[in-house]
Amino acid sequence: MDDSEKTNEQLISEVQALRKRVAELEADSSGHVEMIPAEVLTTATRNQIIALAATVDAKDPYTLTHSKGVAEIAETIGEAAGLSKEALSDIRAAALLHDIGKLGVPDAILTKPDNLSGAEWAIMQKHAAEGARIVGFVAELAPLVPLIRHHHERYDGTGYPDGLKGEAIPLGARILCIADAYDTMTTPRGYREVLSQEDALEELRWCSDKQFDPGLVEAFCRAVGVASDEDDD
């Protein structure tokens, strides 16, 4: 059954489930939005982030768990890079919402247990621009839009959606790109092998100057206590 064939009862049930999940997140004092300092977000904006995050969670619970991990890693990278408190808050919020565009991806693609076809991958790639569009409707979240839109750009210019290269990619988006990849490599999900911290960091270094900002990769490695070969010399 596709989405167009859902009955009113099913739609009502899904809305009720979403409302329940929003209430659970609002009641969770250890929730992921609490990582964002209260003084930099109004209560209304924090509630908007909770609601948006819950919407993604209702569609694919893995996505929210992943986004929380990305937020923690991105904060570590941002601190290592010397970012301001305000910039770190924007990055944390953007990390929590970076996959919001997956709301527009069909469930059959989003939860497919094996590799995507070329056509399916093309649909999946639209989530970055779609996420930026969704978040852009909330005026208070405007600073997050470029971070969400460009978190799949590559340092060598071969990423999406706009093919930005090097420092033309917003700094926060470059940080999210690294954090996203690292969490994906080190988080269990049935159809892929989990890498150790050492192997995941080595992969980040291998892809520096191609996929990732090399300076930020090394800052992250130092922050987690792994020196580069050059530092050892």
Count of alpha carbons within 13 angstroms of residue 22, beta-carbon side: 14
CB 22 within 8 A of CB 50: yes
Evaluate whether 92 touches 141 at the Cβ level (below 8 Å): no
**Which residues does 160 contact at the CB level (< 8 Å), separation at least 6?**
125, 128, 152, 153
Q: How far is CA 210 from the centre of its chain?
A: 20
Answer for the pair 152, 94: CB distance below 8 angstroms, yes or no.
no
Q: Please say whether the beta carbons of 216 and 204 come within 8 A.
A: no
* Residue 102 falls in the annotated catalytic set: yes
Distance (Å) of CA 49 to CA 46, 58, 74, 95: 5, 14, 17, 11
Q: What is the CA radius of gyration of the chain?
A: 18
Catalytic-labelled residue, pool 102, 112, 126, 210: 102
Left (φ > 0), alpha (ψ -120 to 50) or beta: where does 33 sit? alpha
Which positions are annotated as active-site residues?
102
